[in-house]
């Protein structure tokens, strides 16, 4: 069985993904401007991917004896990224910057998880996190290039 610290970290990743899933929907719904079609589709692609990992982390946590958060309140309380209510119009470029910024936070969380999984000798969790970190870093590169 995994180490308690790794279980807690995976649970925080569950919470972070719950918040990211919602934030990406917000961008998907509210994006405007000349890049609407490209960004509307990209935000949907990203929230679909986030949702897959959201589920994967919760199921991995259950597999190693943990108990995933499952309420909106828990997600907000334990997420590494913060929700931002849509109270005024946000420029499309600022939405992209916000996603890239949230992904920077996520990469740091994944690095910590890789370290904890290694210490716990949990090769499966370590492998999941390494593969996912690679995907997020690629998204960050693409978002950076999109911004010029």
What is the predicted pLDDT for the residue at 28? 98
CA distance 66 to 81: 22
The answer to whether residue 2 scores a pLDDT higher than 60 is: no
User: Would you call 89 helix, strand, or coil by DSSP?
Assistant: coil
How many domains in the chain? 1
Of 4, 140, 143, 11, the C-alpha closest to 74 is 11
Backbone angles phi, psi at 65, to 5 degrees: 95, 10
Q: Exposure string (b/e) for 2-20, b if CB count within 10 Å is 16 or more?
A: beeebbebbbbbbbbbbbb
> Per residue in 6-46, pLDDT tens?
999 999 999 999 999 999 999 999 999 999 999 999 999 99
Given a contact cutoff of 8 angstroms between Cβ atoms, the answer to whether 30 and 86 are in contact is yes
Predicted local confidence at residue 3, as pLDDT: 82
**Cα–Cα nearest to 109, from 65, 66, 68, 57:** 57
Q: Residue 42: in which H helix or E strand, if any? A: helix 36-63
Q: Tell whether the model's pLDDT for residue 1 goes beyond 70.
A: no
CATH of the domain at 102: 1.20.1260.10
For 66, how many CA atoms within 13 A lie in the half-sphere containing its CB? Answer: 23
Residue 71 confidence class, pLDDT cut points 50, 70, 90: very high
Kindly report the pTM of this predicted structure: 0.95
Can you give the residue range of the structural domain that contains 127?
A: 4-147
């Amino acid at each position: 069985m995994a180490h308690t610290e790794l279980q807690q970290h995976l649970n925080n990743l569950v919470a972070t993904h719950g918040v990211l899933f919602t934030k990406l929907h917000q961008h998907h719904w509210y994006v405007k401007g000349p890049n609407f079609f490209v960004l509307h589709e990209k935000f949907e692609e990203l929230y679909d991917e986030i949702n897959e990992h959201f589920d994967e982390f919760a199921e991995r946590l259950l597999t190693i004896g943990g108990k995933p958060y499952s309420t909106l309140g828990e997600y907000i309380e334990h997420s590494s990224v913060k929700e931002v209510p849509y109270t005024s119009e946000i420029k499309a470029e600022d939405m992209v910057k916000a996603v890239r910024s949230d992904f920077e936070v996520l990469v740091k969380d994944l690095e910590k998880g890789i370290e904890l999984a290694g210490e716990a000798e949990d090769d499966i969790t370590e492998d999941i996190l390494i593969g996912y970190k690679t995907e997020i870093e690629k998204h960050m590169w693409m978002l950076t290039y999109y911004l010029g």
